[in-house]
Amino acid sequence: MSREVGANGQVKSIDRDIVAELQRNGRATNQQIAERLGLTATTVAGRIRRMEGANLLRVVAVSDFTAHGYSLLMQVMIEVEGRPASDVIEELARFPEVFAAHQVTGRYDIDMLVALRDVDELAPLVLEKISQVSGIRSAVPSIAVDIVKYQFDVAPIGGES
């Protein structure tokens, strides 16, 4: 079996195994990964470099909201009028409270995810920041009352070719 990234950009089995090891322990060294998979550290390092170079892998740190003092997670759905949604979302995305902003289809034009330290930060965000952005017809905030699933590693990495 070829261990290279296929011409169609799909990741081969060994690459999926390396990614799985990194997901299990993002601090694992190439040597540790190699030992677990029966490879050499040089092979692991080369596979990681190739996947990064092909934009198939990006190693990032992910942290828990509550570990950093955030106790309120909120979704804000926004309708835009009189201004391009792309301009509005660029302005909204600059707010430090916004950790994800998506231009979407359907009734709303923008979907944002916001993290706040406590409920006292809610009114200033909605009344002093979001409401001051021109082009917003309506903003519908929804506060998460329970996080049932928080999974950050769901991006598919391809199947066997």
Q: Which residue has the tokens 């707010």?
A: 95
Query: Which token pair is 1?
Result: 């079996």
pLDDT of residue 156: 53
Q: Among 3.30.750.24, 1.10.10.10, 1.25.40.10, 3.20.20.140, what is the CATH number of 1-62?
A: 1.10.10.10
pLDDT of residue 114: 94
pLDDT of residue 24: 86
The SS3 call for residue 122 is helix
Side chain identity at residue 52, one-letter code:
E
Please tell me the distance from the alpha carbon of residue 128 to that of residue 154, in angstroms, as a whole number.
35
Please tell me the distance from the alpha carbon of residue 31 to that of residue 27, in angstroms, as a whole number.
11
Kindly report the CA angle at 64 between 57 and 132, in degrees rounded to 5? Answer: 95
Please tell me the distance from the alpha carbon of residue 24 to that of residue 148, in angstroms, as a whole number.
21
Q: How distant, in Å, are the alpha carbons of 30, 33, 76, 129 from that of 120? A: 45, 45, 17, 14
> What are the backbone angles phi and psi of residue 40, rounded to the nearest 5°?
-100, 155
**CB environment 88-127: b (16+ within 10 A), e (fewer):** bbebbeeeebbeebebeeeebbbbbebbbeeeebbeebee
pLDDT of residue 2: 35
Per-residue confidence in pLDDT tens, the chain, 161 aa: 334 444 444 457 899 899 989 988 888 999 999 999 999 999 999 999 999 998 888 877 766 777 778 889 999 999 999 999 999 999 999 999 998 999 999 999 999 999 999 999 999 999 999 999 999 999 999 998 887 877 666 555 554 43
Domain spanning 66-143, CATH class: alpha beta
The structural domains of the chain, with segments of one domain joined by +, span 1-62, 66-143
The SS3 call for residue 43 is helix
The SS3 call for residue 143 is strand
